[in-house]
Amino acid sequence: MHIVLLDAKTLGEDLDLGILEPFGEVTLYQTTSPEETPARIQDAEIIITNKVVITKEMMQNSPTLKLICIAATGMNNVDLDAARDLGITVKNVAGYSTQSVVQHTFSMTLYLLEQMAYYDQSVKCGAWTKSGLFTDVSRPFYEIAGKKWGIIGLGNIGREVARVAAAFGAEVYYYSTSGTNHDQTYRRVSLDELLKQCDIISIHAPLNENTHNLINRTNLPYLKENSILLNLGRGGIINEADLAEAMQTKTFYAGLDVLEQEPVREGHPLLDIPHPQNLLITPHIAWTSIEARKKLLKGIVENIKSFLQKA
């Protein structure tokens, strides 16, 4: 088998990709541009892609291609209808990053809730030293206990966030973006009610026609003062221009691990808000704990094994 990994750099240099070699000849590319993709997959039998887009035309011009392994849960970078019509199997890896994303959700929450940026700077700039006090209570922070935590998207990750939030003592609400998730443990509400009532709101939904621009200038005004809005789902669920505008006129906090365009473009309006300490942006790393990436690679290997056993 000729196996082509198109964007090895996204998996990290600390993984042993030699685990793929027993299955055949492995060609690794650190990154692959759209212009480079057709030639690189033309003679492949198995390709592995994290975010490299695979189109119908590319598959049609790759006569030996049998299996596409997506190094992720989301499958929107592959034309699935075309793959099915062409008899090409497509496999993803589900559930590998749940604990990593949940942990990052609470890392972002606590960073913003406890004013970590402010207090870290207070120490490092010498303000604490000059104060002569053993403590600093110049900026209040709050506890999760007793707060209302709203979850947008109650899938596997959303349910685990709900469980941990409840363990912290939060009262959990949720909005189902698909309309199909029901969990009597928590209170299901409309999106508007969730935005109006909740102190902390975290998004764990996929990007689709139901969720694109779900949070925008029409409902951002519903957010409570000093509330926290987190997006760990997909970029595009929050309209970022509308978010930047809202953060100029209202006091609330936002934590984003995903953006509509990644990496963030120069001149993005969120990079120029008047109170940057109210915004935390991380570079799409919620899924990337070493444990999660090891599970991901193991899942890719299992998908290849399973495919070859059936071939």
Find the helix packing angle between 98-113 and 156-167, rounded to 10°. 50
Q: What is the pLDDT of residue 311?
A: 72
Q: What is the pTM of this model?
A: 0.93
- Based on the structure, what is the number of domains in the chain? 2
* Shared domain check, 150 and 131: yes
Question: Per-residue pLDDT tens for 99-155?
Answer: 999 999 999 999 999 999 999 999 999 999 999 999 999 999 999 999 999 999 999
- Known active-site residue 234: yes
Tokens representing residue 215 in the block: 């949070």
* Shared domain check, 223 and 140: yes
Which among 36, 262, 291, 302 is annotated as catalytic? 262
- Known active-site residue 284: yes
Are 291 and 15 within 8 A, CB to CB? no
* Shared domain check, 63 and 12: yes
* Shared domain check, 258 and 187: yes
Rounded CA-CA distance 309/311 in Å is 6
The DSSP bridge partners found for residue 255 are: 230, 280
Rounded CA-CA distance 70/47 in Å is 8
Which among 40, 104, 159, 284 is annotated as catalytic? 284
Residues of the chain with pLDDT under 50: none
- Known active-site residue 212: no
Compute CA distances 20 → 2, 17, 273, 290, whole Å: 11, 6, 45, 18
* Shared domain check, 305 and 259: no
Domain harbouring 267, CATH code = 3.40.50.720
Rounded CA-CA distance 82/103 in Å is 36
Which among 40, 104, 234, 293 is annotated as catalytic? 234
Q: What is the pLDDT of residue 140?
A: 93
* Shared domain check, 132 and 240: yes
Containing 245, the helix (H) or strand (E) segment is helix 240-249
Query: For residue 306, what are the domain limits?
Result: 2-96+290-310
Rounded CA-CA distance 71/9 in Å is 12
Torsion sign, CA atoms 120, 124, 130, 134: positive
* Shared domain check, 219 and 154: yes
Token pair 């970029």 is at which residue?
235
Cβ neighbours, 10 Å, residue 22: 11
* Shared domain check, 92 and 103: no
